Amino acid sequence: MTPLLALEEVSKAFGSVQVIDRLSLAVGRNEAVGVIGPNGAGKTTALHLMAGRLRPDRGRVVFDGRDVTALPAHARCRAGIAVTHQIPHPFEAMTVFENALVGASFGHGATGHAGTRGEGAARGRIALDALELTGLADRANTRAGALPLLDRKRLELARALATGPQVLLLDEIAGGLTEHEVHELVEVVGVLRRRGLAILWIEHIVHALRSAVDRLVAIASGRRLIDGPPDAVMASPEVQRVYLGIDVE
């Protein structure tokens, strides 16, 4: 499968600490890829390199056949790369709908100007669609600062979806959710895939990944350990060693 978004032999250090070490990681069109690894493995750093929040020390980032290594985060968002924060950061004084509308207005291939009335209506529909997908449509007029943590996570996802991405980068979006809510999230991921969206999902809740992705990539110390079907990856002795003492069932 031809990659839609890829890190190619990328390295990143912070001072004397080598966080990413010649890592190659890719997601194809309409593919869902899960990324696992222990704390400090470099997972979130890899995601930030893909999203443009960090610049690699070496290697390159390729999106849709184009070298985007030097492209800043906001330009990558408008090009079709959306990312969620591990800790939600809504615009607390704005409503849930207004938060989603920000994504639709400034991330959806937008130029940042107000546009015509028709364009505004179209962006409103995009925002509402994102809220419906994430189960927040009935809270559209609620102030985002009043949302509990779980709904803030839903809003984080909705705002990313409203940008109209080709690929969605999820950073531990299931953290803090109940088992039922994790199941609902997996169903949302399935809907997004049927819409043609590519997904790269970093997560510690491994059973969610196993039921939602085509491939798992295990990394440790900034390097790729193994890449393959979820069951094969989790059966790997090397991965079991990394996850020693962690229940992955």
Domain residues of the chain, as ranges? 1-80+165-249, 87-163
Give the mean pLDDT of 204-223: 93
The two three-digit tokens of residue 137, written as one number: 């449509």
Give the mean pLDDT of 228-249: 79
What tens digit of pLDDT does each residue of 51-103 get?
A: 999 999 999 999 999 999 999 999 999 999 999 988 898 999 999 999 999 99
What tens digit of pLDDT does each residue of 13-31 get?
A: 999 999 999 999 999 999 9
CATH number, domain 1-80+165-249, options 3.40.50.450, 1.20.1250.20, 3.40.50.300, 3.40.50.720: 3.40.50.300
What pLDDT is attached to residue 169?
A: 98
Give the mean pLDDT of 170-193: 88
- The per-residue DSSP string of 109-174 comes to S--SS---HHHHHHHHHHHHHHHHHTT-GGGTTSBGGG--HHHHHHHHHHHHHTT--SEEEEESTT
Instruction: Outline where DSSP puts E strands in the chain.
Output: 3-14, 17-28, 32-36, 58-63, 66-67, 81-83, 167-171, 198-202, 215-220, 223-228
Give the mean pLDDT of 159-184: 91
What tens digit of pLDDT does each residue of 102-155 get?
A: 999 988 764 444 455 567 889 999 999 999 999 899 999 999 999 998 899 999
pLDDT > 70 fraction of the chain, expressed in percent and rounded: 93
Is 207 in contact with 249 (CB distance < 8 Å)? yes
pLDDT > 90 fraction of the chain, expressed in percent and rounded: 71
DSSP 249: -
| Whole-number average pLDDT of the chain | 91
Nearest to 162 by CA among 106, 87, 86, 88: 106
